[in-house]
Protein backbone atom coordinates (compact mmCIF):
# COMPACT_ATOMS: atom_id res chain seq x y z
CA UNK A 1 0.00 0.00 0.00
CA UNK A 2 2.88 2.35 0.76
CA UNK A 3 4.09 2.10 -2.83
CA UNK A 4 0.88 3.67 -4.15
CA UNK A 5 1.31 7.40 -4.86
CA UNK A 6 -0.03 9.73 -2.12
CA UNK A 7 -1.20 6.80 0.02
CA UNK A 8 -1.24 7.46 3.76
CA UNK A 9 -0.76 4.27 5.80
CA UNK A 10 -1.83 4.09 9.45
CA UNK A 11 -0.87 1.23 11.77
CA UNK A 12 -2.87 1.88 14.97
CA UNK A 13 -1.66 0.63 18.33
CA UNK A 14 -4.77 0.21 20.45
CA UNK A 15 -8.49 0.98 20.76
CA UNK A 16 -7.83 4.65 21.62
CA UNK A 17 -5.61 5.04 18.56
CA UNK A 18 -8.31 3.53 16.35
CA UNK A 19 -11.00 5.73 17.88
CA UNK A 20 -8.96 8.91 17.39
CA UNK A 21 -7.73 8.08 13.87
CA UNK A 22 -11.23 7.84 12.35
CA UNK A 23 -11.96 11.61 12.41
CA UNK A 24 -8.43 12.30 11.15
CA UNK A 25 -8.98 9.93 8.22
CA UNK A 26 -12.32 11.59 7.41
CA UNK A 27 -10.67 15.04 7.42
CA UNK A 28 -7.65 13.92 5.36
CA UNK A 29 -7.59 14.87 1.69
CA UNK A 30 -6.34 11.78 -0.10
CA UNK A 31 -6.33 8.00 0.08
CA UNK A 32 -5.76 6.32 3.45
CA UNK A 33 -5.09 2.69 4.34
CA UNK A 34 -5.60 1.71 7.98
CA UNK A 35 -4.16 -1.61 9.09
CA UNK A 36 -6.68 -2.72 11.68
CA UNK A 37 -6.13 -5.22 14.46
CA UNK A 38 -8.25 -8.34 14.80
CA UNK A 39 -10.18 -9.52 17.82
CA UNK A 40 -10.31 -7.76 21.16
CA UNK A 41 -8.15 -4.62 20.87
CA UNK A 42 -6.81 -3.45 24.26
CA UNK A 43 -6.84 0.16 25.44
CA UNK A 44 -3.32 0.99 26.60
CA UNK A 45 -2.67 4.60 25.57
CA UNK A 46 -5.10 6.07 28.12
CA UNK A 47 -2.30 6.27 30.69
CA UNK A 48 0.10 8.10 28.33
CA UNK A 49 -1.90 11.31 27.70
CA UNK A 50 -1.93 10.35 24.03
CA UNK A 51 -3.58 12.21 21.17
CA UNK A 52 -3.51 10.86 17.61
CA UNK A 53 -2.07 13.17 14.95
CA UNK A 54 -1.88 12.00 11.36
CA UNK A 55 1.74 11.87 10.20
CA UNK A 56 3.24 12.54 13.65
CA UNK A 57 5.35 10.22 15.78
CA UNK A 58 4.84 10.30 19.56
CA UNK A 59 7.30 9.64 22.36
CA UNK A 60 5.50 7.59 24.99
CA UNK A 61 8.38 7.16 27.43
CA UNK A 62 11.68 9.00 27.77
CA UNK A 63 15.00 7.37 28.63
CA UNK A 64 18.75 7.54 28.15
CA UNK A 65 19.85 3.96 27.42
CA UNK A 66 18.01 2.72 24.32
CA UNK A 67 15.73 4.14 21.63
CA UNK A 68 12.93 1.83 20.50
CA UNK A 69 10.78 2.84 17.56
CA UNK A 70 7.65 0.80 16.92
CA UNK A 71 4.26 0.89 15.29
CA UNK A 72 1.01 -0.90 15.73
CA UNK A 73 0.65 -3.77 18.17
CA UNK A 74 4.45 -4.02 18.59
CA UNK A 75 4.27 -0.81 20.63
CA UNK A 76 2.52 -2.73 23.41
CA UNK A 77 5.34 -5.28 23.34
CA UNK A 78 7.98 -2.54 23.48
CA UNK A 79 6.30 -0.88 26.47
CA UNK A 80 6.12 -4.24 28.27
CA UNK A 81 9.82 -4.89 27.65
CA UNK A 82 10.63 -1.42 29.01
CA UNK A 83 8.54 -2.05 32.12
CA UNK A 84 10.25 -5.38 32.77
CA UNK A 85 13.73 -3.98 32.12
CA UNK A 86 13.17 -1.10 34.54
CA UNK A 87 11.85 -3.51 37.16
CA UNK A 88 14.97 -5.69 36.94
CA UNK A 89 17.34 -2.70 36.71
CA UNK A 90 15.97 -1.17 39.90
CA UNK A 91 16.03 -4.48 41.83
**Is 90 exceeded by the pLDDT of residue 32?**
yes
**Is 80 exceeded by the pLDDT of residue 47?**
no
Residue 1 lies in a domain: no
Residue 2 lies in a domain: no
What's the domain count of the chain? 1
Residue 28 lies in a domain: yes
54-78 pLDDT, tens per residue?
A: 988 888 888 888 888 998 888 888 8
pLDDT of residue 40: 81
HEC secondary structure over 37-89: CCCCCCCCHHHHCCCCCCCCCCCCCCCCCCCCCCCCCHHHHHHHHHHHHHHHH
With 0-12 CB in 10 A as exposed, 13-18 as middle and 19+ as buried, what is 45? buried
pLDDT of residue 50: 84
What is the extent of the structural domain holding 62?
8-90
Residue 3 lies in a domain: no
- With contact defined as beta carbons under 8 Å apart, do 72 and 35 qualify? yes
pLDDT of residue 21: 93
Confidence bin at 9 (pLDDT 50/70/90):
very high
Amino acid sequence: MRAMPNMTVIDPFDALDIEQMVPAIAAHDGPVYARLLRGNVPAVLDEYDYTFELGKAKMLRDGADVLVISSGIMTMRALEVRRRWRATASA
